[in-house]
């Protein structure tokens, strides 16, 4: 399997959702695919809301970090840069359409629907067994020098 965006651009990142260097994190691995960024992720038992179903906070954490990478990758390509800008989440809104099974992988898809120089709006879905279980829309902003997140991942 080729390197994910996270492994390629932030291998030492400790982020709970997407940091390759966080031993107890979710380890989201996001890959560009056409105009989208996609990821497959397998729940662990402690990510459940109750036996058999994935917790909604974990669903949001997956969609947040994965969408943030879709935004960063888009802004990088838009600017013709070699590395993504350090983007942070300004907001994200999750709709839980149906229970998400915790005994099967989930599939994440995200795409940028609007972008300016320093920010992007991303829409994303989380599906299980081919059915969309949750959707997300979020805004992700490239931070400037002086922000506590600047060059921190």
Judge whether 77 and 151 are in contact, CB under 8 Å. Answer: no
121 binds a second copy per the rule CB under 8 A: no
Contact pick of 4, 5, 6, 17 for a second copy (by CB under 8 A): 17
Q: Where does residue 96 rank: exposed (0-12), middle (13-18), buried (19+ CB within 10 A)?
A: middle
Residues 6 or more apart whose Cβ sits within 8 Å of residue 122: 67, 68, 70, 71, 110, 111, 112, 113, 136, 137, 138, 139, 140
Among 22, 119, 123, 132, binds a second copy (CB under 8 A): 22
Among 9, 36, 78, 96, binds a second copy (CB under 8 A): 96
Residues in Cβ contact with 50 at an 8 Å cutoff, skipping those fewer than 6 apart: none
Residue 16 or residue 77: which is nearer to a second copy going by CB?
Answer: 16
Considering only 37, 62, 106, 124, the residue that binds a second copy (CB under 8 A) is 62
| From 8, 9, 14, 123, residue interacting with a second copy (rule: CB under 8 A) | 14
Tell me if 127 contacts a second copy by CB under 8 A.
no
The piece of 21-29, 69-77, 107-115, 116-124 that touches a second copy (CB under 8 A) is 21-29
Spatial separation of the C-alpha atoms in residues 118 and 81, rounded to whole Å:
13
Give the C-alpha distances (Å, rounded to integers) separating 71 from 52, 87, 112, 131, 136: 32, 8, 6, 24, 13
Q: Does 90 bind a second copy (CB under 8 A)?
A: yes
Q: Please report whether residue 145 would count as binding a second copy according to CB under 8 A.
A: no
* Residues near a second copy, by CB under 8 A: 13-17, 22-26, 45-53, 55-58, 60-62, 64-65, 88-96, 99, 147-149, 152-153
């Amino acid at each position: 399997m080729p390197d994910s965006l996270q492994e390629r651009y932030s291998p030492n990142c400790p982020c709970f959702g997407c940091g390759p260097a966080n031993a107890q994190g979710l380890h989201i691995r996001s890959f560009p695919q056409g105009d989208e960024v996609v990821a497959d992720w397998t729940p662990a038992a402690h990510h459940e809301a109750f036996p058999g179903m994935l917790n909604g906070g974990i669903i949001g954490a997956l969609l947040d970090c994965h969408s943030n990478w879709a935004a960063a990758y888009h802004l990088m390509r838009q600017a013709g840069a070699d590395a993504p800008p350090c983007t942070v989440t300004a907001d994200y809104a999750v709709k839980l359409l149906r229970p998400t099974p915790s005994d099967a992988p989930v599939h994440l898809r995200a795409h940028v629907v609007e972008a300016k120089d320093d920010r992007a709006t991303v829409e994303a879905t989380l599906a299980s067994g081919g059915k969309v279980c949750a959707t997300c829309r979020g805004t992700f902003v490239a931070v400037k020098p002086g922000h506590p997140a600047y060059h921190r991942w």
